[in-house]
Each structure stands twice: as structure tokens, then as C-alpha cells.
Amino acid sequence: MILSALDLSPVTGDATQAQAVRDTIELARAAERMGYHRLWLAEHHNIPGLGSPAPEILIAALTQATSTIRLGSGGVMLVNYSPLKVAEVFMELEALAPGRIDLGLGRALGTDARTGGALRSVGSDAFPQYFSLLTSWLLDAAGKAPIGDEHPLHDIHANPSGPSHPDVFVLCTSEESATFAGAMGVGMVFAEFIARTDGGPAVAAYRKAFRPSAFRLEPWAGLALIAYAAPTAEQAWREDAMRRAGNVAMLTGQRRRFRDLASAESFLAEHAGTPVRAMVESRSIATDAAGVHARLAGKAREAEAEEVFVLATGPSLEARIRSLELIAEAHGHAE
């Protein structure tokens, strides 16, 4: 199992969203020291508890703050943007850090419909067409499949040109999107923490549909999971309360950010015995490092996934970094 990290630039305590962005840079440096294979950054709009609307900007900063870890988007919500512009942005990132850039693509909006309108999103139905345009420009820019005079895009090229292009992935929450990723011959990551269902069926659908392409000759599947580790199981479960409370609030139609453990625990107590709290807690991975690693490895094994992305969560930046460190150490001991 390859171990990677995912970060949403969460706002913790009394910090600002601007501080959350800077915290991600510190977390990236730490993840590189710990030996994580990749760090991916998400795109979310109009969510007070997250400071991550523009992963491409943070990736650019991180190309200068790191030297070995792969950096990518988990993901760019493609239908919010011009495919040509996305191709140019990620070719420029590839120029800054050749061989280290991943372009993970989502077909959702990364926000609510009203905010999507403000972004001038064209909606998820356009994703296949946008994906085709984007990948054509990437392959052309890298010299792998030049756009000829007969192509509808002739005389339009993404700059800067290669010699390499980012690796491409589709972020999935269903068998349908996994099948699309396989048919396109790119990598896939199943966002289990969003789908709230096991990733095995989607990974199986992806492998069945996979066709070799200019991007990838063999299938490659990852799982994205929320996991939090602390020195003891009891400490981990308590410190994870803010995240669990936030999930319960969101699923019950409330926009709340919990600034401390006491308020989170009080909110969870109000929802004791409810189906929503039971579901959130049944899918939560928060325990000591050995227990977290065992759950992650078990998930990867059951789904037949090559890689697991750990969403870096915790009540503070220090706790998030400590959690990633404990998980990485447990992973090293298991190898």
C-alpha cells in the first residue's frame, strides 16, 4: 500500500482562512519529511471552515517549498473552468516541478448550485466533453499526440509546452464515474469519505472498464479516507470530536464550525442515538497509530487499491501533523 495525504486547508480554533492556507504549506513540508508519496489539495467554494478554493495556487507555492513529494489537485472541479485554461495552468505547474504534478479532476461543482452559478459553472453534464478537450491539449503540449490541421482544435495550443505533462486522475464517488475513468485510461481515486460507502465496487468497475491510453497502460486505483491518529485510542477519539460534529451538522442541514472540543462534544451529545451520528461514527477512523494503519491497510486490501490518501484532519495544525507522523511511522513498521 502506497501512503499519500490529502489536505483541505481546514480552519481550526480561532484561526482565519488565510492562516489555514499557510498551514497547508507547513503540513506539506512535514508530509515530505515523513515520506508520503503525494500531497493533494482540494477545491471547495463558499465553505467557511475550509480555505481551499484554488488548489493550483497552493500547488505552485508548494513546488518551491518541497523537492520530492508529488503535488496535485484532489481535485480541480473541471466544469467550473475553461479546459484550455486548466491545461495551461497545469502545464505551467509541470514546468515548475517536472515529474511531480498530478491533475485530479472532479465533475461536481465543489459547492452548492447557487455558488456554482456565481462561478459560471456549466454543470456536471459537460464533464466528458471538457475532459476530452483538456486531455487533448495536455497531450499536444507534451508532444505525445500533436493536434493536427484536421482536428477541431487546430492552431490552438496550451502553453507552456512539455516535454512532460501532469499525470491525470478522475475523482470518483460512484461506479459510473469510476467506469468513465477506466474507459479514458487514466487513474482513479474513490473519495470514500464523501461517498460514505466502501470503494470496492467502484474500483472493480474501474478495472473492468480500463483501456490503455497515452496516459496510462495499466489501471491504478486509490482510496481517499479520513483518518486521525493520536498516542492513544481514547485521545484520538476525543480529539476527532470536532470533525465528527462538523459532519453531523452538515448532514442535518446546519452550517457550523466548532472552535473547541467542548462545543463539539456538547453538540454530539445533543444528537446521541440519532441515525446520522451513528452513521458518521461507524465510518470514523480515529484511534492509535497501529489501529489506524490496520484499518487503512484493510480498506486498501478489500478494495484492491494501490494507494490510500489520508485526509489530514485534527483540532490543530500540530495535531494534524502529529497524526500524519504517527500513521507514517506505523506504515514504516508494517512494511
Q: Mind listing the domains of the chain with CATH numbers?
A: 2-234+287-334 (3.20.20.30), 241-283 (no CATH)
What's the pLDDT tens digit per position in 132-183? Answer: 999 999 999 999 999 988 888 889 999 999 899 999 999 999 999 999 999 9
| 262 pLDDT tier (thresholds 50, 70, 90) | very high
Please name the amino acid found at residue 77: M
The grid coordinates of residue 161 equal 509546452
Residues written for the chain: 335
Cα(333)–Cα(85) distance, integer angstroms? 43
Cα(212)–Cα(87) distance, integer angstroms? 21
pLDDT value of residue 124: 85
The grid coordinates of residue 129 equal 466533453
The grid coordinates of residue 61 equal 507555492
User: At residue 116, does pLDDT exceed 90?
Assistant: no
Region at 184 (left for phi over 0; alpha for psi -120 to 50; beta for the rest):
alpha
Residue 279 and residue 196 in contact, taking contact as beta carbons nearer than 8 Å: yes
User: ω before 212 within 30° of 0 (cis)?
Assistant: no
What's the pLDDT tens digit per position in 119-130? Answer: 888 888 999 999
Percent of the chain exceeding pLDDT 90 equals 82
User: At residue 109, does pLDDT exceed 80?
Assistant: no
How much is the average pLDDT of 108-114? 80
